Amino acid sequence: LLQQILRDEWGFEGLVMTDWGAANDRIAGIRAGLDLEMPSSAGAFDPDVLAALDDGTLDEGDVDRCAERVVALLQRARRDRPASDRDAHHRLGREAAAAGSVLLANSGVLPLSPALGRIAVIGAFAEHPRYQGAGSSQVTPTRVDRLLPLLRERVAPSTTVAYAPGYDPSTGATTPALVSEALRAAAGADVVVLCVGLPAPMESEGFDRASLDLPAGHVELIEALAAQPAPVVAVLSNGGAVHTPWAGRVDAVLECWLGGQAGAGGALDVLFGDAEPGGRLAESIPDHVAQLAADRNFPGEPRQVQHREGPSVGYRFHDASGVPARFAFGHGLSYTSFEWSDIRVEGDGTDVAVLACVANVGERAGSDVVQVYVRDRECSVRRPDKELKGFAKVHLAPGTSAEVRIALDRRSFAVWDVAAHDWLVEAGTFDVVVGRSSADAVATLAHEVTSDDVLAPEPPVAGLVATDEEFEALLGRPIPAIAPARPFHRNSTLEDLEQTLVGRVLGAIVVREGLKRAEAEFPDPDEATQTMVRTALREGPVRGLVLLSGGLVPFAAVDAVLAGLNGRWGDACRLVRGALRTPRRRRDARSG
């Protein structure tokens, strides 16, 4: 994977490193071209690497090549960099936030006029923005925009701006008093700008979200405000998709995601029409998780997840099942109107171009996105109904038009053949579907492809989710038995070990110490960071205790604990003596 595909086929010339604490077999990693272990484990794997070099199971050339790539990166990183213009970068971030926002729904209330008599801004995110993730995505901003003060600056002096927090920004919880305060602020308003989304503790790396729902407090607030007479604009701040069963009861929904330090400025620009909502959904937003094919086997067992849904994920599931998404992949509204014409395919075979004339027939400048999907009408193997193969965005002034050209090549029509280990194209009729989203086709054009490729037969799957027999046929072997928790090993988790009394005591100690270390690295860590650390420690392999300790915990100590928990107390004692004789080398766990 790293050498043949990444470097040889794709031409990658950089360095490959592990995710934090993800090294499992350092010797196999070096052989494969895994250059750098991060963070430094203070030499935890060094004895194994040296022994492998001595006995010839690891080639010195493999080590040299990894070292050379590390040195090459260091040399590039040492080059002088020009000083950055923080204000210019902030302005660029604001433009990017607006361009990435997706207008999911709009009854015509947007864009807002800055001369409205009264605007009610509801939601603590207007004062305490949710603008970035936790963990590796958490950065130090140069400054952070807030929607409420920016909106007050943007509107006319005669406009009254009322505000109510509505909920706790850390938890999303509300109270009857907070809801009543929000309704008083909304009374008599020309429009309500309602800031909702996911508080940081609900989503982060290191743990799965419990559901796609907004916090109950946010939903309660939405329902209460939707029942009052003023139009409601919901402004969403969240890292992943959320359920929006309430979307039909508000007047507009603007999905702003996690827009970065200038995200509130970008949202403001879109709300008042100073910028267009330039984004399109890169995922489908379903009505319910339970309707999805993947939900039938997820999360599965602690040590096994079966992906029996195959290609039936995202828009491919909605196409195959006929179950519509709440908001389809590729969806996104504009503040202007477009008409498409003269849609055609030029060329023969697999090297073709799709062309369309796009005209802005509205009264504002804006952008439209032409999306091209390909459907294989006659494929002999399991394949999605259609697949996105290209798209193009065009910005047009009112009354102007442009021709959009999207190139397709052999890969656009190909399917992966497991037996050939290659992308093959079957001869036959393909549909080239041109649309505004996966669910909004404007034109479907038949296109003939000739080919001598023959796909290897594939076991059939009758439904969206493979049965036991079908799944075993696809695997080419029996479904693996779920690995037992015991005997414990380096890739066991603290949750596994907590089946024992000693493991529960050990788990409590490890989590407590891990949180202390988090406080040292992240002063006053928020609840999201604490949840991420706690979950990562309990659900990650226990070898991570060594790799993330900066040399404080040797493998011998972990192996001794595992031996004891497995009832091999003699081995445990020998390992403890060995660990005590081994000098500890501590390094900053954040360094390489």
Q: What is the pLDDT of residues 2-19, one digit of tens each?
A: 999 999 999 999 999 999
User: Which pLDDT value is given to residue 438?
Assistant: 98
Q: Give bridge partners of residue 237 from the DSSP assignment.
A: 197
The CATH number of 90-279, from 3.30.1370.30, 3.40.50.300, 3.40.50.1700, 3.60.15.10, is 3.40.50.1700
Top pLDDT among 208 and 28 is at 28
Instruction: State how far Cα 112 lies from the chain centre.
Output: 31
Every domain of the chain with CATH number 3.40.50.1700 lies at: 90-279
Supply φ then ψ for residue 367, to 5 degrees: -120, 145
Q: Is the peptide bond before 111 cis (omega within 30 degrees of 0)?
A: yes
pLDDT band at residue 584 using 50, 70 and 90 as cut-offs: low
Query: pLDDT category, 582, cuts 50, 70, 90?
Result: low
Query: Is residue 591 predicted with pLDDT exceeding 60?
Result: no
Mean pLDDT, residues 119-148 taken together: 94
Q: Residues with Cβ < 8 Å from 284, sequence gap 6 or more?
A: 241, 314, 315, 317, 318, 325, 327, 328, 329, 438
Q: What is the pLDDT of residues 143-182, one digit of tens each?
A: 999 999 999 999 999 999 999 999 999 999 999 999 999 9
| In 238-382, beta strands by DSSP E | 252-255, 338-346, 352-360, 366-376
Mean pLDDT of 255-269: 98
Confidence of residue 585 (pLDDT cuts 50, 70, 90): low
Confidence check: pLDDT of 583 > 70: no
Q: Measured between alpha carbons, how far is 558 from 541 in angstroms, rounded to an integer?
A: 11
Omega before 39 within 30 of 0, i.e. cis: yes
pLDDT greater than 90 at residue 590 = no
Question: For 321-330, what is the mean pLDDT?
Answer: 97
pLDDT for 525: 72
CATH for 337-457, among 1.20.1730.10, 2.60.40.10, 3.40.50.740, 2.40.160.40? 2.60.40.10
Alpha carbon distance 486, 503 (integer Å): 13
pLDDT in tens, 496-531: 999 999 999 999 999 998 888 877 776 667 777 788
Q: Among the listed ranges 201-210, 343-352, 521-530, which one has the minimum average pLDDT value?
A: 521-530
- Secondary structure (3-state) at 160: strand
Q: Is residue 588 scored above 60 in pLDDT?
A: no
The residues, ordered by sequence, that sit 6+ positions from 69 with a Cβ below 8 Å of its Cβ are 14, 15, 16, 35
Query: Hey, what's the torsion of the CAs at 328, 334, 338, 342, to 10 degrees?
Result: -40
Q: What average pLDDT does the segment 414-438 reach?
A: 96
Answer whether residue 587 shows pLDDT above 70: no
What is the band of 57 on the pLDDT scale with cuts at 50, 70, 90? very high
Structure tokens at 583: 């000098």
Mean pLDDT check: name the lowest of 8-17, 151-160, 252-261, 293-302: 293-302
Q: Given the DSSP bridges, would you call strands 415-417 and 118-122 parallel, antiparallel or unpaired? A: unpaired
Q: Directed axis angle between helix 86-100 and helix 263-271, to 10°?
A: 50
pLDDT at position 513: 86
Average pLDDT value over all residues in the chain = 93
85: Cα within 13 Å, side-chain hemisphere: 6
At 422 the pLDDT is 94
pLDDT confidence of residue 515? 86
Q: Is the pLDDT of residue 589 over 60?
A: no
Q: pLDDT (tens digit, 9 = 90+) per residue, 378-408?
A: 899 999 999 999 999 999 999 999 999 999 9
Residue intervals of the chain classified under CATH 2.60.40.10 are 337-457
Count of CB atoms within 10 A of residue 386's CB? 23
Rg of the chain in Å (alpha carbons): 28
Catalytic residues: 19
Share of the chain above pLDDT 90, in %: 82
Task: Provide the pLDDT confidence category of residue 552 given band limits of 50, 70 and 90.
Answer: confident
Residue 140 pLDDT greater than 80, yes or no: yes
Q: Measured between alpha carbons, how far is 243 from 329 in angstroms, rounded to an integer?
A: 15
